């Protein structure tokens, strides 16, 4: 069953007439070509792309199963009325106000998609897993190559730019997100994007990065020391490493994602650093770097087979430094754990 048919089954299960898809990552997932602009409308027996002439040739070539609706010739409201589509499922976070006002007519019933497509995206096909793995392998190679570049006197931005260059040279189309290079006290910022700060001796450096390969992302974090650092910073490195390894080792198919998160938090809390670990333990990764679902205390999903996701505990000491270690992985149908990122996690003092 292809992805469109999976979506169609969910539409039928909700007794709806159509799903309006506006989230870019969902459009790319179902179309399998990037940079499309417009809306997708899926009904019980058809599928449409509401767009303009810039994309007609691309649709004919790459997605001929879709009917084109020219938005220069008909409004979305007129099209929906013409097709007698009255019970609609929408993606409200990705639909602008003017479009919503246009379709929000008294005769229509409109409901939230509640991550309908995202839940289908959770479980990856073998081909999708291969693409995430290829993106992860690029990240591993970049990490191995960047270590010789990191030294006192080099700026965080210079490191980030070199990593992006290396990744693209290895076949990535883009970075998964703005590369995080956070050194010294800034490494205690969980999302400290690279700045012009100069890396100094006796500092930790957190590298959080990933690359896009054929539309799929990787996401990895490693922490290295430039010269010697304090015993406490060395201690929290070992705690985070042990927490990550213990968390991964206890993961099972069907396990509540919030239980995975709780295990990691409990481990670090028992080591005396509970308040210093203030974010979720991971997230799904695929068409987007941060996909639904997340692994945190509010997670409602259980772990399925073939969901590619991250495990990324951390400890952050204000004004001193922080440590985070992150890997991509999945469990197959037999429950076997497969690590997709394989960069060294040994204590590295450059």
Q: Where are the domains of the chain?
A: 3-121, 123-339
The strand pairing partners of 47, in sequence order, are 42
342: its two tokens = 């394989």
Q: Supply 195's token pair.
A: 């700045």
Average pLDDT, the chain: 97
What is the b/e burial string over 226-262, where b = at least 16 CB atoms within 10 angstroms of the residue's CB? beebeeebeebbebbbebbbebbeebebeeebbebbb
Residue 47 has pLDDT above 90, yes or no: yes
- Residue 23's pLDDT is 95
pLDDT tier for residue 22 given thresholds of 50, 70 and 90 = very high
- The proportion of the chain whose per-residue pLDDT surpasses 70, expressed as a percent, equals 100
Contacts of 313 (CB under 8 A, 6+ apart): 240, 243, 244, 247, 264, 265, 267, 268, 277, 281, 324, 325
Cα distances from 314 to residues 190, 277, 286, 322, in angstroms, run 8, 6, 22, 7
C-alpha dihedral sign at 155, 148, 163, 287: negative
- pLDDT recorded at residue 11: 94
Which residues have a Cβ under 8 Å from the Cβ of 311 and sit 6 or more positions away? 244, 247, 248, 251, 260, 264, 281, 282, 295, 326, 327, 329
Q: Is-contact 284 309, C-beta < 8 A?
A: yes
Sign of the C-alpha dihedral computed for residues 183, 189, 193 and 195 taken in this order: negative
| Per-residue pLDDT reduced to its tens digit, 84-103 | 999 999 999 999 999 999 99
- Given the DSSP bridges, would you call strands 47-51 and 39-43 parallel, antiparallel or unpaired? antiparallel
Indicate the pTM of the whole model: 0.94
Q: With left for phi above 0 and alpha for psi between -120 and 50, is residue 306 left, alpha or beta?
A: left
- As a CATH number, domain 123-339 is 3.90.230.10
Closest by Cα among 115, 131, 133 to 293 = 115
In tens, the pLDDT along 190-202 reads: 989 999 999 999 9
pLDDT beyond 80 at 34: no
CA 137, 141, 147, 153 dihedral sign is negative
Q: What is the DSSP letter of 263?
A: H
The per-residue pLDDT for 223 is 99
Cα 128 from chain centroid (whole Å)? 14
Q: What pLDDT is attached to residue 200?
A: 98
Whether 1 shows a pLDDT value over 70: the answer reads no
Distance CA 90, CA 113 (A): 5
**68 HSE (CA, 13 A, CB side):** 19
Residue 39 phi, psi dihedral angles, 5° rounding: -125, 150
Which range of 32-36, 100-104, 155-159 scores highest in mean pLDDT? It is 155-159
Closest CA to 265 of 235, 295, 304, 291: 295
Integer Cα distance of 249 and 282 in angstroms: 15
| pLDDT at residue 269 in the model | 99
Dist. CA 236–CA 77, nearest whole Å: 57
Percent of the chain with pLDDT over 90: 97
pLDDT (tens digit per residue) in 335-350: 999 999 999 999 999 9
| pLDDT number for residue 58 | 92
Decide if pLDDT at 271 tops 90: yes
**32 confidence band (pLDDT: 50, 70, 90):** confident
Helix count and strand count (H, E) for the chain: 10, 19
Q: Which CATH superfamily is domain 3-121 in?
A: Creatinase/prolidase N-terminal domain (3.40.350.10)
Q: Sign of the CA dihedral 240, 245, 248, 251?
A: negative
Is the pLDDT assigned to residue 246 strictly greater than 70?
A: yes
What is the mean predicted confidence (pLDDT) over 35-47?
94
Residues contacting residue 261 through CB under 8 Å, at least 6 positions apart: 280, 281, 282, 295, 296, 297, 299
């Amino acid at each position: 069953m292809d992805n469109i048919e999976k979506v169609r089954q969910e539409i039928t299960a909700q007794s709806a007439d159509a799903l309006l898809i506006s989230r870019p990552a969902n459009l790319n997932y179902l179309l399998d070509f990037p940079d499309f602009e417009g809306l997708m409308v899926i009904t019980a027996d058809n599928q449409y792309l509401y767009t303009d002439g810039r994309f007609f040739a691309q649709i004919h070539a790459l997605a001929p199963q879709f009917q084109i609706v020219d938005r220069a010739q008909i409004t979305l409201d007129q099209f929906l009325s013409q097709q007698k589509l009255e019970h609609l499922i929408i993606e409200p976070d990705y639909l602008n106000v003017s479009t919503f006002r246009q379709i929000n007519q008294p005769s229509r019933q409109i409901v939230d998609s509640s991550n309908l497509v995202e839940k289908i995206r959770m479980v990856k096909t073998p081909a999708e897993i291969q693409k995430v793995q290829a993106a992860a392998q690029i990240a591993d190679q970049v990490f191995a190559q960047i270590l010789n570049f990191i030294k006192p006197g080099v700026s965080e931005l210079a490191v980030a730019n070199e990593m992006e260059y290396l990744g693209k040279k290895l076949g990535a189309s883009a970075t998964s997100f703005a590369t995080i290079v956070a050194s010294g006290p800034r490494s205690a910022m969980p999302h400290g994007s690279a700045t012009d700060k100069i890396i100094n001796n006796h500092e930790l450096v957190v590298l959080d990065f990933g690359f896009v390969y054929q539309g799929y992302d990787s996401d990895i974090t490693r922490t290295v020391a430039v010269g010697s650092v304090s015993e406490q910073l060395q201690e929290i490195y070992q705690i985070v490493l042990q927490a990550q390894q213990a968390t991964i080792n206890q993961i099972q198919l069907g396990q509540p994602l919030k239980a995975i998160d709780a295990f990691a938090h409990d481990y670090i809390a028992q080591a005396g650093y509970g308040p210093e670990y203030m974010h979720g333990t991971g997230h799904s990764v695929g068409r987007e770097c941060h996909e639904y679902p997340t692994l945190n205390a509010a997670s409602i999903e259980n772990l399925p087979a073939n969901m590619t996701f991250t495990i990324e505990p951390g400890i952050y000491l204000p004004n001193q430094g922080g440590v985070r270690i992150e890997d991509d992985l999945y469990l197959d149908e037999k429950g076997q754990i497969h690590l997709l990122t394989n960069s060294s996690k040994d204590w590295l003092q450059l």
